[in-house]
Structure 1
Amino acid sequence: MMKKTVALLSVAALFGSLAASSALAFNDLSADQKEPIMALKQRGIVSGVDGEHFVPTGQASYAQTVHMLVKGLNLNMDTMRFIKKPEASDYYTNVPNNAWYAESFVIAQLNGLPIPKDVDPNGTITREQYADLLIHAIDTKGMYPVIEMFVAFADQDDIDPKVSSSVQRMVLHKLITLGEDTKFYPKRELTRGEAAVWLHSAIKFVESYANAQKPAPQEDVKVTVEKVNDDVNKVVLSRGEKPTGGYGIAISSIRFEADGRAVITYTLTDPKPDSMNTQAITEPTAETYVSSKYKPVAEPAAATSVSPAIPKS
């Protein structure tokens, strides 16, 4: 019993925790594996068999890959409510409730990952099986556009039709790159290196869309009205004080509404990171003139904060 417990803990350590020597690099990684695997290690998603070896060519078990997916893509059941706490035995016949990976299997099941009820958690997993789990895990994070194109694998006939769509998306989402032989090798047992590198690509893919969908922070623009005469007012838009030069504001249009508002739309420009600008506090402003019959209000244009374009010579 003691030997079995030690063995289970050793397997869990492969992927379950951040090694104490997280700052040290593994010395058995290829050039294309080093960056993604070390990035996962820094996040506490994977660890090696010891401080210096990851063993990327070693076979990955089903339990290890499920645990990686759940942890790496932050799958959870935080918003779910249960009459009783769900256990692995509620969904699987071979996953012990007290196993180190039990909760990950439960979370995977509740998030819709297609894991067989009779899965052997200590058994190996094929490349096509992992690809299918990975795509299902990605889809729990949102809806993503897919290029309408069919990837012609040289070994297409070897791919299970049930997972063919997921394998296609692995390439279309640029999670993997095919070799010159254009084969996917679907039935080949997944290695630890492949599992980690593919997961890293999936995390980057999900995060890239999450960042792109974040609304741009709105900046307060102050509107000042100065009377020119009884019929005309001067309107000044100000971004307030900025730490350097290079910031700008420009009026793009004025829209006169029936409710008496003059809606002044504007665009903002920020200094490029590598540009040379005045090292002094500045106040970017823009001005225009409107009829005194209207109340001026400022509104950002559709795309407002951009770096200035460089004119072509």
Structure 2
Amino acid sequence: MSKKFALIGAAGYIAPRHMAAIKDTGNELVAALDKNDSVGIIDSFFPDADFFTEFERFDRHIDKLRRANNGHAVDYVSICSPNYLHDSHMRFALRSGADAICEKPLVLNPWNIDGLQEIEKDTGRKVNTILQLRLHPSIIALREKVLAEQKNTKHEVDLTYITSRGHWYMQSWKGDIDKSGGIATNIGVHFYDMLHFIFGELQENVVNYSDDTMASGYLEYQNARVRWFLSVDYKYVPESAKAKGLRTYRSITVDGEEIEFSGGFTDLHTRSYEQILKGEGFGLEENRVAIETVTAIRDSAPIGLKGNYHPFLNR
């Protein structure tokens, strides 16, 4: 029997992947919310879904469906809203009698996880999150290789992620650290989760540099020493990538060997939904290390260069 979904943040960049995942898994989107009304993409997936631009009317509609007691209650609320609203919207989902499926970052601070765990206990509902890199075949293979070593081998890892953004970025909520959590949280949190997933316990976290558009630092895990660099500034994209017309550059090397995972992303949201619908989704606790990591980066970020690591000069 198909499940009924509601979606918060329908105009967001990532929302179409959630709509596709709902459809691909044979389920139904019955209601969507966004303060912006540029949501024609819904017609490609669920043209009959009810749409709201005001939370209060959306809240009332979800409550009416729940109280109708005729099989129309929402089973899941998918959350694609700005980062700082995730906590509130997950609370809304749980208190509405639905499970939550939340985009990353789950929350901005680790103590929000504790509060959500209390609400899970109170309501009997569950928070699920999208940690899609844990489902990527290349990442799974690397993790299995590291685990098979059965010893605390310290691999040397370099992580570079540059995803160019235009002038709009700093004018949006993403450019406000109180709303996005800063660049490490906004574009890096899934990579920090991936590193923890592969290499184990986090042992050290050093920030070398941080500003509005780039950050770099050092992380040490049980099985790896990691130098990382993140940016939304096009000038850091390598010339070789620019020559191909690319505005995004992603690279992970382990002991000097490039890990190829640029492909295989297209269906990871659908695979995430499949896991969730089977009761095997990633929950609150799986997010804790990554959220602690980005919180520490945000709290300790220096203004100005502290080290001399640069992803291209130091290779």
TM-score for the superposition, normalised by structure 1: 0.23
- Structure number with greater Rg is 1
Which is strand-richer, 1 or 2? Answer: 2
Q: Name the structure where helix makes up a greater proportion of residues.
A: 2
TM-score of the aligned structures, taking structure 2 as reference length: 0.23
